[in-house]
Amino acid sequence: MRCVFCGNPESKVIDSRPSEDGLSIRRRRECLACGTRFTTYERHNESPLIVMKNDKSNEPFDRSKLLRGLLIATAKRDVPVVRLEALIDDVEAEIRNTLKNEVRSKVLGDMVLERLRGIDDVAYIRFASVYKDFRDIDEFQSALKGMS
């Protein structure tokens, strides 16, 4: 591993342990040239998830895009960001457990709505109104009735 301070390509591992998220290995290293210590993280290289949109286009799964949508839906609600990140982790894990690299946007949206419903009813309706693209008040009322 190249030293981040002097650029020397030789370093030795001093300590290794799982990171806090459990998804990577944290390694403390020492440069053999300058003696400086630094930390590196090793992650398993996962294949990217592809979201198949309704218009037949594909795009990579973007956690930050999904988090932005959830933050908008939960604006001024008492929902911690950590809870939303856990929701996204759960959705991504479920998709990866299917051993498929592609997911339809409708399936992804339904998975998010299913989990969001148990977190906050107002956020659920806000997210659903954008995701399901309600055309009129009747569709909105139908979604509200479906919650009871």
Cβ–Cβ under 8 Å, residues 125 and 116? no
**Is residue 148 pLDDT above 70, yes or no?**
no
pTM of this structure? 0.64
Measured CA to CA, the distance from residue 24 to residue 1 in angstroms comes to 16
Closest CA to 34 of 74, 2, 65, 59: 2
Please name the residue ranges forming H helices in the chain: 63-73, 81-97, 105-117, 121-131, 137-147
What is the reported pLDDT for 61?
93
Residue 22 has pLDDT above 90, yes or no: no
CA–CA distance, 36 with 29 (Å, rounded to integer): 8
Of the two residues 128 and 23, the one the predictor is more confident about is 128
- Burial grade of 143 (CB within 10 A; 0-12, 13-18, 19 or more): middle
Q: What is the pLDDT of residue 70?
A: 95
**Tokens in use for 73?**
């839906």
Residue type, 71: L
